[in-house]
């Protein structure tokens, strides 16, 4: 298998979830970072790899894959152990639904390009942006709290980290950035607090990335 190169940005939730998955699989990879704040993702050379000019993108030789759900599924199929998905088909469907709740219904509404559009086109200040992001995060987390309470046994699903945690941990990081009140979601917080100290998650944390802003 060709060497893996992840095109990333330290604070991208979608790139964060891919880093977690690669680490859980024990896969070595290089990173090429693109500062989304400066528009580096729109450079012609990167657009040739990723036509949407979004991160993440994963290169494996001549093969380039975009969109984090597709990347995660490809990683799971190519390196089945340790598994990110349960063995049972019904359980796999539940995990994918939990991931989609975050990836489709929460995250797209609080990513950088949406927040910039709200600020640029509608004059939203930071307080309004926090309120906007918090509304959709809280709505999604309310449903996810029920699902994790129902299906989790220490982690988001079951008793070991997997695909659902790859989505949940970055999204809770975003919730903290937007000052969302997490007290209504104790099960989610507990699952994240259990995952975060693990090496695969700690190494994927935004603050551990080569392009992270220096601490204040």
The 10s digit of each residue's pLDDT in 45-100 is: 999 999 999 999 999 999 999 999 999 999 999 999 999 999 999 999 999 999 99
CA distance 148 to 85: 15
Strands 4-8 and 63-66 come out as unpaired
What string of DSSP letters covers 102-142? IIIIIGGGGSHHHHHHHHHHH---HHHHHHHHHHHHHHHHH
CA distance 191 to 162: 11
Looking at residue 215, what is its pLDDT?
Answer: 80
pTM for this model (two decimals) = 0.96
Q: Which is nearest to 106 in space by CA: 95, 98, 96?
A: 98
Mean pLDDT computed over every residue of the chain: 96
Cis peptide before 206 (omega within 30 of 0): no
Cis peptide before 56 (omega within 30 of 0): yes
The 10s digit of each residue's pLDDT in 142-188 is: 999 999 999 999 999 999 999 999 999 999 999 999 999 999 999 99
Looking at residue 103, what is its pLDDT?
Answer: 97
Tokens 């919730």 map to which residue?
175
Please say if the pLDDT value at position 1 is more than 70. Answer: no
Contact 212, 37 (CB under 8 A): no
Domains and CATH numbers, the chain: 4-82 (3.40.30.10), 89-201 (1.20.1050.10)
Looking at residue 2, what is its pLDDT?
Answer: 78
């Amino acid at each position: 298998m060709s060497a893996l190169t992840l095109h990333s940005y330290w604070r991208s939730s979608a790139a964060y979830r891919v880093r977690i998955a690669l680490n859980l699989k024990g896969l070595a990879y290089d990173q090429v970072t693109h500062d989304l704040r400066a528009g580096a993702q729109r450079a012609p050379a990167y657009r040739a790899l990723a036509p949407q000019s979004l991160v993440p993108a994963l290169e494996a030789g001549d093969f380039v894959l975009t969109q984090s759900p597709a990347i995660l599924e490809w990683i799971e199929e190519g390196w089945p152990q340790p598994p990110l998905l349960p063995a049972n088909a019904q359980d796999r469907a539940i995990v994918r639904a939990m991931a989609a709740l975050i990836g489709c219904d929460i995250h797209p509404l609080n990513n950088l390009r949406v927040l910039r559009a709200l600020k640029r086109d509608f004059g939203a200040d930071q307080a309004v942006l926090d309120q906007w992001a918090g509304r959709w995060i809280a709505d999604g987390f309310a449903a996810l709290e029920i699902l994790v309470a129902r299906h989790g046994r220490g982690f988001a699903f079951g008793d070991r980290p997997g695909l659902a945690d790859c989505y949940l941990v970055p999204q809770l990081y975003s919730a903290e950035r937007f000052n969302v009140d997490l007290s209504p979601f104790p099960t989610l917080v507990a699952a994240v607090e259990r995952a975060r100290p693990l090496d695969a998650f700690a190494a994927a944390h935004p603050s551990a990335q080569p392009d992270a802003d220096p601490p204040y």
